[in-house]
Amino acid sequence: MKTKLSKAVSVALGYVDVLVGLQWGDEGKGKMIDYLSQFYDVVCRFNGGQNAGHTIIHGVLKFVLHILPSGILNPNVKNVIGNGVVFSPEGFVDEVNEIQEKAGIDIKPNLYISNRAHITIPTHRWLDKASEDSKGDSKIGSTLKGISPTYRDKISREGLRYGDIYLTNFKEMYQALKTEHLKMMESKYHFILSIEDMDELDIQEAKFFSAIESMKSFQICDTSKLLNDELHAGKKILAEGAQGTLLDIDHGSYKFVTSSNVISGAVCTGLGISPKRVRKIYGAAKAYNTRVGSGPFPTELFDDNGDLMRKNGCEFGATTGRPRRCGDLDLVLLKQQCIVNGVTDLIILKGDVLSGFNQLPVCKSYDLPDGTNVKWPPHDLYDAKPVYEQVPGWKQTMQELNVCKTIDDLPQEFINYLNQIVEYCNTDIAYISVGPDKEHTIEV
C-alpha cells in the first residue's frame, strides 16, 4: 500500500499590523507608532531611509528619528530595520549615539538590521545633489540623503548591502561603486567635484569607514528569518511606514515622489514576510494636508489660512526644517489611498490645529480640463481643480481640544467633520490624535 501524501502541520502564528501615512508624509506616524508599540513585540521599518523624520515626544524630551524604528524607546520591543530600507552608516551611528545619550538607555540589544538593507555611500548624496542641481526649476525637492541614487543602484544590481561589510574586498567594492558615481556625476550631470568638494568627500569617507567598523558591533542578520521566527512564536509585529503613500514611487504623484514603495503592500517585500500574515492596516492622515518639496497639491492654500495652519501645526520639516506647504483636506486623495492601502483603521491627527476656522472646505471631487468631474485622481494631479464642500468649524480653542479624552468630549462640529471622512472614505476611525503627546490620543 502506498504511503499517503503528508499533511502540513498548522502552527500558531502571530501577525503583522502595518501603519502607513496616507498623505505626503509627516502625518504624525512617529507619535502613533510610539503609542501603539506598547501593544506589539516587534516594530520594523520596511521602506525609505534617512529621508524620514518621525517625531516622538517622551515627557519633556523630543526625539526625531530618521532611521531607527519608532519603538526604539520602548525597552520591551524588538526593533528591526528591514531589507527594504536604505541608509548611511554615518547617519545611523550618529542617530544611535544621540538617542542613547538623550534617553540614557542602551538601544543596541533591541535593534536588528537586515543584512540585505542597502548602504548609502557618500557619493550617493553627491549624486542626489548633482541630479537636483541639474533640474533647475523642476527640482523634486529631495531631502538630499542619497535615497534615489541608493535605490537606483539596488535596482541596477550594483549596490552594497550591510551583509557585505564583512567581506575582505568590501573596500574594493566600495571603491568601484564610488568611481562609477564620479563618472556618472560628470557624464550625466556635468557635475565635477572641486578641490574643496574632494576634501569634503575625503572627510565623509573617513567617517563612513569608521561607521562601517562600528556597524559590526550591531546585530546585522537575516531579519526575514528573524521576523518569521517571531511570527511562528505567535508574536505581534508592527510595521512602520515611512513617508506617505502619495510619495509612493508607483502610486504617488510621480515624478514628485520618493524612490521606494510606501504603500502597505511594500511591507511584504520590505520585510520578507507573507501577505497572509498581514492583519490590520492603520492609515494615518492629518485633518488637513501638508507637503514638503515640489509637486502637485490640489488643495494647497496660499493665504492667511495656510499660514495659520503652518503656525498652529508647527508645520516645518523634521528632516530638513523646510516650511511645509499647507492645504485643505482632500477626500478624493484620502479615499484613493484608503483603497490602495486597504486601510482597516484610520488614524486622524492634528484636528486641533483647525480650531479657529469658521468654515472648513473639504475637497470631494475634481474638475478636469476636459470638462469632466471625477472622484479619483487623474494621471496628472496638476490637472485636478478641487471642488469643495464647506463644513462648519468649531468654537473651541486648540487647548480645549488638547484635553479631550473621549469622543464625547469633542465638539459636535468636530465629530461632524470626522464623519465626513468616515462616510466619504467608507473606513472607520480607530484613533483621533488631538495634540502632540501620547496622552493626547483618543481611542475610538
Of the residues 18, 19, 25, 40, which one makes contact with ligand IMP according to CB under 6 A:
25
User: Which CB, 14 or 313, lies closer to ligand IMP?
Assistant: 313
Q: Nearest distance from residue 402's CB to ligand IMP, in Å?
A: 24
Choose one: 20-28, 199-207, 339-347, 430-438; the region binding ligand IMP (CB under 6 A): 20-28
3-state secondary structure of 334: helix
Out of 17, 34, 54, 124, the active site residue is: 54
Pairing of strands 329-330, 359-367: parallel
Task: Report the distance separating Cα 142 and Cα 144, nearest Å.
Answer: 5
Residues 34-53 that bind ligand IMP (CB under 6 A): 51-53
**67 or 338: CB nearest ligand IMP:** 67
Q: Closest CB to ligand IMP among 132 and 409? A: 132
Q: Please report how close the Cβ of residue 247 comes to ligand IMP at its closest, in angstroms.
A: 5
17 Rama class: left (phi>0) / alpha (psi -120 to 50) / beta:
beta
Q: How far is the CB of 345 from ligand IMP (least distance, A)?
A: 21
Cα 331 → chain centroid? 20
> Which residue, judged by CB position, is nearest to ligand IMP in the bound state?
293
Pick the closer one to ligand IMP by CB: 26 or 330.
26
CA distances to 114, 123, 146, 435 from 170, rounded to whole Å, are 17, 16, 20, 47
Name the residue nearer to ligand IMP (CB basis): 14 or 71: 71
- The neighbouring-strand residues paired with 80 are 44, 112
Which CB atom, from 256 or from 357, has the smaller least distance to ligand IMP?
256
Q: How far is the CB of 155 from ligand IMP (least distance, A)?
A: 14
Q: Are 351 and 343 in contact (CB under 8 A)?
A: no
Site string for ligand IMP, 247-266 (x = CB under 6 A): x--------x-xx-------
CB of 95 to ligand IMP, least distance (A): 14
**Nearer to ligand IMP (CB atom), residue 26 or residue 328:** 26
> Residues 25, 292: contact at Cβ < 8 Å?
yes
Catalytic pick from 26, 248, 328, 330?
Answer: 26
Residues 50-79 within binding reach of ligand IMP (CB under 6 A): 51-53
Own/partner contacts of 60-63, CB < 8 Å, gap of 24 or more, are 61/102, 61/103, 63/99, 63/102, 63/103
For ligand IMP, give the closer residue by CB, 292 or 301: 292
Would you list the DSSP string of 132-159? HHHTGGG------SSHHHHHHHHHTT--
**404, 322 Cβ separation under 8 angstroms:** no
In the beta sheet, which residues pair with residue 291?
325
Residue 44 C-alpha cell reads as 520594523
Find cell 521599518 and name the residue. Answer: 45
Beta bridge partners of 236: 15
Q: List the x/- string, 136-165, binding to ligand IMP by CB under 6 A.
A: ----xxxx-x-xx-----------------
Q: Do 38 and 13 meet the contact criterion of CB atoms below 8 Å apart?
A: no
Binders of ligand IMP among residues 292 to 351 (CB under 6 A) are: 292-293
- Residue in the structure block whose three cell numbers are 502619495: 246
- Binding-site size for ligand IMP (CB under 6 A) equals 21
Identify whether 54 is a catalytic site residue. yes
- Give least dist CB 26 to ligand IMP, A: 5
Q: How far is the CB of 24 from ligand IMP (least distance, A)?
A: 6
Min separation Cβ 128 and ligand IMP, Å: 7
| Residue-level length of the chain | 444
Q: How far apart are CA 153 and CA 125, in angstroms?
A: 13
Task: Spell out, one character per residue from 230 to 249, where the chain touches ligand IMP: x when CB under 6 A holds, - when not.
Answer: ------------xx---x--
Alpha carbon 76 to its chain's center: 23
Picking from 263, 226, 6, 25, the residue whose alpha carbon sits closest to that of residue 113 is 226
> H-type helices in 216-289, by residue range?
223-232, 266-271
Residues 205 to 224: which contact ligand IMP by CB under 6 A?
none
Whether 26 sits among the annotated catalytic residues: the reply is: yes
Residues serving a catalytic function are: 26, 54
- Judged by the rule CB under 6 A, the positions of this chain that interact with ligand IMP are 24-26, 51-53, 140-143, 145, 147-148, 242-243, 247, 256, 258-259, 292-293
